[in-house]
Structure 1
Amino acid sequence: MSKLMNKNELQSVLESDGEERYDYFLSQVLEEREIWILVNAENRFLKIVSEDGDVEHLPVWPSEAFAAAYGKGADDLTPKSISLPDFFRKWVPGLTKDGLDIGVFPGLDETLWITEPEELKRDLQDEMSSF
């Protein structure tokens, strides 16, 4: 169980740029062995579509606290964890088939690291092998 972060820590991570958040995401996920998404009352996962409708992505977070903070203000969004093996085995192929990218760890700024599921899987596996 990871230690709970105080508000300042949460804030400082959220204020870092997309690339820093991506690195933070990789290290946290490897430590906790899970990825967090937001789901609604019907257990459908939150999907974000760009304004021009060209890009659809699944936002993911490294911890429940960050997912919950993002979902604040939306009535029916709840953080849900996906184990890393499940993510690799089920989600990556499913998202790839649906043509969905992954938005890694949305923060407070406008930058977001959007990546293909296979690429995120590769990055995580590379990190694991150097762990």
Structure 2
Amino acid sequence: MSNNDLTEVLGLDGEERYDYFLSQVGEDREIWILVNAENLFLKISSEEEGVEYLPVWPASAFAQEYAKDAEDLSPKSIPLPDFFRKWVPGLTKDGVEVGVLPGLDKTVWITEAEELKRDLQDAMSDF
């Protein structure tokens, strides 16, 4: 993916980025997160919004771009079946939501893990 493509997608509004995420993940069948050297995943707490969320991306390049100023974070792929089977129940149990494809303007579409799962399953039916 070229830098222009990356910047173009990251410049979309939250809803457009969410739709892009659904179509890409529906096609590639994997979600990308960021992990540190201890393999612990990045979780963001927004005191302003009163939520904790797991940021997710449709491709490694987006996660790398997000973490470019953080030395200890690297992209990690989660196969979609693992995300559905292990991550969604765990996130739901822990009260952690999902932040889909944070944009250049630092906005992020935050949704419940179960809702994202349903939306992804709908998107996959198109492939």
TM-score higher than 0.5 here?
yes
Counterpart for residue 51 of structure 1: 47
Counterpart for residue 113 of structure 1: 109
Q: Distance in 1 between matches of 2:112 and 2:25?
A: 17
Which of 119, 123, 126 pairs up with 2:122? 126
Q: Distance in 2 between matches of 1:88 and 1:28?
A: 16
Q: Distance in 2 between matches of 1:75 and 1:107?
A: 20
The unaligned stretches of length 5 or more in structure 1 are none
Counterpart for residue 68 of structure 1: 64
Q: Distance in 2 between matches of 1:58 and 1:100?
A: 7
Matches within 5 A, 1:14-25: 14-25=10-21
Asked whether the 8 Å contact 2:27–2:124 carries over to 1, the reply is no
SS of 2:102's equivalent in the other structure is coil
Q: Number of aligned residue pairs: give it.
A: 127
User: Displacement of 1:130 after TM fit?
Assistant: 3.1
Q: Distance in 2 between matches of 1:53 and 1:83?
A: 29
TM-score by length of 1: 0.93
Q: Distance in 2 between matches of 1:126 and 1:63?
A: 19
Identity of aligned residues (%): 74
TM-score by length of 2: 0.96
Q: Distance in 1 between matches of 2:47 and 2:35?
A: 21
User: Displacement of 1:126 after TM fit?
Assistant: 1.1
Structure 1 stretches of at least 4 aligned residues deviating more than 6 Å after TM superposition: none
1:29 pairs with 2:29? no
Q: Distance in 2 between matches of 1:81 and 1:94?
A: 17
Q: Report the AA paired with residue 34 of structure 2.
A: L
Q: Distance in 1 between matches of 2:37 and 2:59?
A: 20
Counterpart for residue 83 of structure 2: 87
Q: Report the AA paired with residue 42 of structure 1.
A: E
